A and B are shown apart, each in its own frame.
Chain A
Amino acid sequence: MTNVLQVHDLHFSYHDGRPALRGVSFAMCAGEKVALVGPNGAGKSTLMLHLNGILPDRPRDFVHGRGEVSVEEKRLTRDNLPVIRALVGLVFQNPDDQLFSPTVFEDVAFGPLHMGLPMKEVEARVESALEAVRMSGFRDRLSHHLSVGEKKRIAIATVLSMKPQILVLDEPSAGLDPRGRRTLINLLRELPITMLVSTHDMKLVQELFPRTIVMDEGQIVADGQTRDILENEELLTAHGLEKP
């Protein structure tokens, strides 16, 4: 199988000089669902922002870092940023960071509209994206008055409507009540799409993801079958994680 996503020796420091990524390399096959775990400040969110070229001011030369990100064998550069963004759907941790339009419909339609799709196609995509997250009745609601769980699902719909190859989610279950969390887990299980999900929710990891990547201090410290990693208590404690 070919790799949908390939990250090679990625380094990155923030403006204050704090290194956030220190040589990250991994690859993902089509259809794979991978969990990304690690303590706060391990570099998970920074890595995710790199996957659709948000962080580097100038991705051509990775001003504050170096390395390579390739999606479907296309190397991420400044010139093909828009193409890469159509392939990688990034869902931010805080849905308030994701939703910026007055109504649900406009938010979900933004991606496809920006891609220049005809109105009919946009309508169809919005419908199917909302259906996929089971929010069909919400298209005319005001985004900022929804509950956290509803906002999360809308946030996922806003990238599903772009029909990405990879879905990248940053802590999707944070702040959800048990029912909202259950709905989200079922939703993630059913979505037939390659997925990289960062989380602190080890039960979610156990239930949903065959493969797990453990990050700490800007580096990947373990990458393998979830079963093996969750058995390795020494590894989990060393990196501030808990066995579910």
Chain B
Amino acid sequence: MHFDAFDRYHETNSFVHRLDPRIKVAVTVAFILSNALLPDGAWIAFGLSWMLLLFANIFSNLGIAFTLKRSFVALPFALVAITVLFSIPGNPLASFHFLLWDLTISDTGFLRFVSILIRSWLSVQMAILLVATARFPDIIHALGHLRVPSILTTIIAFLYRYLFVLGDEVFRLMRAREARSAAAGRRSGRSVVWRANVAGHMAGQLFLRSYERSDRVYNAMLARGYAGHLETINPHELRRRDYITAALALLAILFLQLAGRL
């Protein structure tokens, strides 16, 4: 009975799976950076960027639409950018009255909004592909090699490790509640307010338990000689294939940056 709903790794054998995780992390970061740097309305460059993503999908043996299907979870976050529709001066496209405000959509605002949407959509897909093709400990290890401060990688590693422990704890709390969620006659379950109250208490319990457990875990780690950093046992080795892939990917990114600026 283990909670593994968060693990997004997809086990297959493919070219991308076999690449060194450092290369995958570096290319993903470069790709995301490149998307962020492309100017508004660089449609050709966005298209090339998308093609690069599709190639990555194909070489990872997960199907060409793999990341597309999973990318929609991140779409609601793009709503944060909705204010740019109204806040950038330009030629008005449409205006309407909303509650207390008169809102006007400008053409430059609209252009920027669509561009932000495309940028984030492409970037999210590459990140999805990264966690689908590299095991989490390998990603952490790669981040360490890429000079991310060890305090950050350690925090991320622990967060990931204890997400599952916490998930199990939540699962047990809910099972205990379920075991006593009985009925006598028709009126059972009580009011929404009461149930919300119980759920609130359960969240509090979860916090207390995690807090106390983290203390015990830390003591157990100290008892075994923990001195501030985690050791890893799988050495990564950069081969010719890795260098060539990295070089080609970075060249492609450079090219689409140029295409976006011409």
Task: Give chain A's interface residues, CB within 8 Å of chain B.
Answer: 14, 52, 54, 82-83, 85-86, 90, 92, 96-102, 106, 110-111, 113-117, 144, 158-159, 162
Contact = CB atoms under 8 A, between A and B. Distances in A.
Contact of B176 (A82, A99, A117, A144): A99
B179 A115 contact: no
Contact of B184 (A86, A99, A106, A110): A86
Contacts of A82: 181-183, 188
Interface stretch (B50-58, B159-167, B202-210): B202-210
A54 B178 contact: yes
Given A86-B182, A100-B202, A111-B180, 19 more contacts: A82-B181, A82-B182, A85-B180, A86-B184, A90-B179, A100-B201, A100-B205, A101-B198, A101-B205, A102-B204, A110-B180, A113-B194, A114-B182, A115-B182, A115-B183, A115-B184, A115-B188, A116-B188, A159-B180
B177 interface: yes
Contacts of A97: 172, 175-176
Given A100-B201, A101-B198, A116 B180 contact: no
A85 B189 CA distance: 13
A100 B184 contact: no
Contacts of A86: 182-184
Contacts of A111: 180, 182
B88 interface: no
A100 B185 contact: no
Nearest to B174: A100
A162 B205 contact: no
Contacts of A52: 179
Contacts of B205: 100-102, 144
23 contacts: A14-B1, A54-B175, A54-B179, A85-B179, A85-B183, A86-B184, A92-B179, A96-B172, A96-B209, A97-B175, A98-B176, A100-B173, A101-B201, A101-B205, A111-B180, A114-B180, A114-B190, A115-B184, A116-B185, A116-B186, A116-B188, A116-B190, A144-B209
B211 to A, nearest CB: 11
A162 B182 contact: yes
Interface in B179-227: 179-190, 194, 198, 201-202, 204-205, 208-209, 212
A110 B205 CA distance: 15
Contacts of B182: 82-83, 85-86, 111, 114-115, 162
A85 B183 CA distance: 8
A86 B180 CA distance: 7
Bin the interface of chain B by size.
Answer: 20 to 34
Nearest to A91: B179
A144 B204 CA distance: 12
Contacts of B186: 116
Contacts of B179: 52, 54, 85, 90, 92
Interface in B138-186: 172-173, 175-186
Contacts of B1: 14
A239 B176 CA distance: 31
A162 B182 CA distance: 8
Nearest to B206: A100
Nearest to B1: A14
Contacts of B178: 54
Given A97-B172, A100-B205, A110-B198, A116 B187 contact: yes
A200 to B, nearest CB: 21
Contacts of A98: 176
A90 B175 CA distance: 11
Interface centre among B173, B176, B181 (most CB of A within 10 A): B176
B175 A158 contact: no
B201 A106 contact: yes
Nearest to A164: B182
A116 B183 contact: yes
- Tell which of B181, B186, B189, B204 has the most Cβ of chain A within 10 Å: B181
Nearest to A162: B182
Ranked 10 nearest A-B pairs via Cβ: A82-B183, A86-B182, A116-B187, A85-B182, A115-B184, A111-B180, A116-B188, A97-B172, A100-B173, A90-B179
| Of listed B176, B180, B194, B209, residue having the most chain A CB within 10 A | B180
Contacts of A92: 176, 179
Contacts of B194: 113
A52 B179 CA distance: 7
Nearest to A52: B179
Nearest to B171: A97
B181 A100 contact: no
Interface centre among B177, B182, B187 (most CB of A within 10 A): B182
